[in-house]
Amino acid sequence: MARLHLFDLDGTLLYGTAAPVEISRQLGLDAEIAELERDFVARRIDSPQYAERVHALWAELTDTQVTAAFEGAPWLMGIRETWAEIRESGDYCAVISLSPSFFVERLLAWGAHAAHGSRFPSVPFTEPVNPRGILNAAAKVKIANRLCEEFGVGRSDCIAYGDSLSDLELFGAVPVSVAVNADQRLVGLATHSYVGRDLRKAYELVRGAG
């Protein structure tokens, strides 16, 4: 039976950072995004409020800057190799992230079968953010369910990789999970844990699972 590997982006595939942080650095807005991140982690703002504020912060953002943020980000090693091995084994790999879709979807070129992020307008922005397109933790489970239908696998055939409380619901919904450089509360719920900078080693923990 094929399996579906579900990867978080921020803090998981990206080491110690998040896509909005890397994008904001390109605009010289390090302090502003740090404040937003603190408010979000402390739950002073929710996902739609975060998206609206970051959209305003990125009023001058260009596609060239998004590309620079993506290419210069501290990715884990071995992402492409891991996904190639997953594909060769007949399994599926997908990314589900709260970060903007225009960043997340670039991972399709690295070998992901699917990549879902919060739906932002195209860069440069000429439209507002639609709050209904912004993902939260519960949305990760809903998207996972849709991907199961799309790829013809069951929830029992899913493996989740994540690092933070936004992955909590997904970890609770699948039988196998890998906490990657994770919050200790998530480590306690995961079936496996990895600390390091090479996705191939995290994948090794579950290569034969199922």
Res. 210: pLDDT tops 60 = no
Reported confidence tier of residue 85, pLDDT bands at 50, 70, 90: very high
Q: What is the pLDDT of residues 164-177, one digit of tens each?
A: 989 999 999 999 99
Q: Rounded mean pLDDT of 21-38?
A: 97
Indicate whether 208 pLDDT > 90. no
pLDDT grade for 209, boundaries at 50, 70 and 90: low
Q: Return the pLDDT at 1.
A: 85
The Cα–Cα gap between 47 and 49 comes to: 5
On the question of pLDDT at 70 being above 60, the answer is: yes
HSE-up of 136 (CA within 13 Å, CB side)?
12
Beta bridge partners of 138: none
